[in-house]
Structure 1
């Protein structure tokens, strides 16, 4: 696997979180850079939730400068999701059992394999990625009703180190990023929907105390989840989706 041209790489033994390290390094970077840590002491997921990071799993952040409006920048969650799908398929030699859960999870055999977190500050974007390569958190370590965690090793028998997986991921992301910047969100959206979990099936979207139940109809051209409900079509910009 060839490391993509123009992307930096920084491997750390331990850090509080790769997202925090990305924020510290961003002002001094000349170009996009992947930051990977073998251990994290203060990892976190979406909405500030604690992220469990056993040794042997991937914890990495891509930090890059962006110039598009925030709504366009946010669409890179779909770019990253597709890159993760591509990387896992390349490592295992098959795409069977893989699916993408809106807005930013990768599923394997119905369980959560990976998660993505986007944070932007000014012209800098950080894309944090966690992948259960070797171990999956126990059910007691995730919130009630959440998709059960799984690992690549337990589901496929494939053993890959975080450093090896990062090479596949970086190459896949570079390809999808080039597609996004050249052709826009259209081809990314089409490819994402082709891999979407529960498309055409009932889901529940929760935002704070609000809950919307409906059929997952599509993702629109702004990345919003579109549900078909008894009250009509509902567009949801951000939520936690329960299957």
Structure 2
């Protein structure tokens, strides 16, 4: 299914800076795979043939340059407070449908789990995805569901990521991505960050309770944010429609377990109901909780974080 690319040339309210084609080209977002969207890098407004877009429109405070036509919607923005802030405004204006995407160059107020600041320089994926109001995205394990969908997308690219329960993406036991969900008035939007070229140093991570961060580039995968994110959502959505929606959301835990990091390995649970207690991962419960075998028996963990045990 083709993706419609819309660039917010004049920015958006107080949350996104203006963005030009030249700046987008220089940002490293595009690369040769930009041509797969039907618009070569460096193209100018009006330079597209029929069916490829290229039109400019103005709607109140915002100007939109259509870079490519399609059935799925992806908004490209300049430097922003956060992709979630942009997505909320677009949703409130009726411009971001379910499965609609937002991708920003950088974030000045990115946020992670427990509202921690998210280091967000240019070169990585800082995205938002409006989720359908259907299970499993409306369940308690919604973040894990998004992670599983992205993991399936990575698998089609030959990148063997795993999911660190409940909302991190790992590659070779290093964090390369994370997910944050925000829900308002029944509308669920996932904030998604993926380290393409930059990873925060150890000093900026939670002391003792965070795995080392890494970029895809240092792991040997040279991917541009635009092509990577659009591909992950496209292929992940295909997995969701064919495996989860068709079989029923009850099939989700078994699908997610095949991507679960540290299965059978020793871990330490921090926070939640069991604080700083060692155990071994046994799998996922039907509610998406983490099944952990402790010396005194198995328990289902519904909150907290985990790190590998010694």
For normalisation by structure 2, the TM-score amounts to 0.70
Deviation at 1:21, TM superposition (A): 2.0
Is the CA contact 1:26–1:64 (under 8 Å) kept in the aligned structure 2? no
Alignment partner, residue 58 of structure 1: 125
| 1:201 is the counterpart of 2:265 | yes
Alignment partner, residue 112 of structure 1: 175
Q: Extract unaligned runs of 5+ from structure 2.
A: 5-69
Change (3 A) 1:45 1:130: same
Aligned length: 238
Question: Which structure shows the higher helix fraction?
Answer: 1
Q: Which of these residues, 136, 142, 150, is aligned with residue 76 of structure 1?
A: 142
Larger Rg computed on CA atoms: 2
* Secondary structure, aligned partner of 2:303: coil
CA distance in 2, matches of 1:94, 1:106: 11
Alignment partner, residue 137 of structure 1: 200
Change (3 A) 1:122 1:134: same
Deviation at 1:2, TM superposition (A): 4.3
Q: Which of these residues, 48, 52, 64, is aligned with residue 115 of structure 2?
A: 48
Is the CA contact 2:135–2:249 (under 8 Å) kept in the aligned structure 1? no
Q: Which of these residues, 87, 91, 101, is aligned with residue 22 of structure 1?
A: 87
CA distance in 2, matches of 1:166, 1:219: 27
* Secondary structure, aligned partner of 1:24: helix
Deviation at 1:204, TM superposition (A): 1.4
Alignment partner, residue 147 of structure 1: 211
Change (3 A) 1:173 1:76: farther
Deviation at 1:88, TM superposition (A): 2.8
Q: Which of these residues, 290, 307, 310, is aligned with residue 225 of structure 1?
A: 290
CA distance in 2, matches of 1:2, 1:159: 23
CA distance in 1, matches of 2:198, 2:260: 24
* Secondary structure, aligned partner of 2:149: helix
Superposed CA RMSD in Å reads: 2.3
* Secondary structure, aligned partner of 1:175: helix
Is the CA contact 1:90–1:168 (under 8 Å) kept in the aligned structure 2? no
CA distance in 2, matches of 1:94, 1:212: 32
* Secondary structure, aligned partner of 2:276: strand
Deviation at 1:6, TM superposition (A): 4.9
Q: Which of these residues, 146, 155, 164, is aligned with residue 89 of structure 1?
A: 155
For normalisation by structure 1, the TM-score amounts to 0.88
Q: Which of these residues, 91, 97, 119, is aligned with residue 31 of structure 1?
A: 97
Change (3 A) 1:65 1:100: closer
Change (3 A) 1:69 1:160: closer
* Secondary structure, aligned partner of 1:152: coil
CA distance in 2, matches of 1:69, 1:110: 26
CA distance in 2, matches of 1:102, 1:46: 12
Change (3 A) 1:67 1:87: closer
Tell me which moved more, 181-190 or 32-41.
Answer: 181-190
Question: C-alpha offsets along residues 131-186 of structure 1, whole Å, 9 cap, x if unaligned?
Answer: 00111111111111210001100012x21111111221120232233233332334
